[in-house]
Amino acid sequence: MIKHCLFPAAGYGTRFLPATKSMPKEMMPIVNKPLIEYGVDEAIQAGVKHMGIVTGRGKHALMDHFDKNYELEHQISGTKKEALLTDVRALIQSASYTYIRQNEMKGLGHAILTGKQLVGDNPFAVVLADDLCLNLGGDTVLKQMVELYNHYRCSIVAVQRVPETETHKYGVISGSKLESGLFRVDNMVEKPAPEEAPSNMAIIGRYILTPDIFEILENTQPGKGGEIQITDALLEQAKRGCVLAYEFEGERFDCGSVEGYIEATNYAYQHVYLGKPTESAEQGQETPVPA
Ligand code: UTP
Q: How far is the CA of 106 from the centre of ligand 1 (A)?
A: 10
Per-residue pLDDT at 85: 84
Q: Which residues pair with 246 in a beta bridge?
A: 158, 182
Is the predicted pLDDT of residue 185 greater than 60, yes or no? yes
For the segment 186-221, what is each residue's pLDDT rounded down to a tens digit? Answer: 999 999 999 999 999 999 999 999 999 999 999 999
Most ligand 1 atoms within 8 A of CB, residue of 101, 130, 131, 169 to mutate: 130
Please give the sequence-ordered ranges of beta strands (E in DSSP) within 163-249, or none if there are none. Answer: 171-179, 182-190, 201-209, 243-247
Grade residue 285 by pLDDT with cuts at 50, 70 and 90: low
Least Cα distance to 206 among 35, 7, 54, 12 occurs for 7
Q: Which residues pair with 206 in a beta bridge?
A: 127
Q: How far is the CA of 12 from the centre of ligand 1 (A)?
A: 6
Q: Which atom of ligand 1 is nearest to the CA of 9?
A: 19
52's CB contacts (< 8 A; 6+ apart) are 4, 5, 6, 7, 98, 99, 100, 115, 118, 119, 124
State the Cα–Cα distance between residues 205 and 62, nearest whole angstrom: 19
For the segment 222-253, what is each residue's pLDDT rounded down to a tens digit? Answer: 988 899 999 999 999 999 988 999 999 999 99
54 lines ligand 1 (CB under 6 A): yes
Q: What is the DSSP letter of 269?
A: I
Q: How far is the CA of 108 from the centre of ligand 1 (A)?
A: 7
Mean pLDDT of the chain: 93
Q: Which atom of ligand 1 is nearest to the CA of 106?
A: 28
Most ligand 1 atoms within 8 A of CB, residue of 25, 53, 99, 108 to mutate: 108
59 lines ligand 1 (CB under 6 A): no
Per-residue pLDDT at 290: 47
Distance from CA of residue 283 to its chain's centroid? 29
For the segment 7-24, what is each residue's pLDDT rounded down to a tens digit? Answer: 999 999 999 999 999 999
What is residue 74's three-state secondary structure? helix
Q: How far is the CA of 255 from the centre of ligand 1 (A)?
A: 12
- Minimum CA distance residue for ligand 1 atom 10: 13
Is the predicted pLDDT of residue 117 greater than 70, yes or no? yes
224 lines ligand 1 (CB under 6 A): no
**Domains in the chain and their CATH numbers?**
4-282 (3.90.550.10)
Grade residue 291 by pLDDT with cuts at 50, 70 and 90: very low
110 lines ligand 1 (CB under 6 A): yes
Judge residue 125's burial from the number of C-beta atoms within 10 Å of its C-beta, 0-12 exposed, 13-18 middle, 19 or more buried: buried
The one-letter code for the residue type at 203 is I
State the Cα–Cα distance between residues 83 and 167, nearest whole angstrom: 43
Is the separation of the CB atoms in 105 and 10 below 8 Å? yes
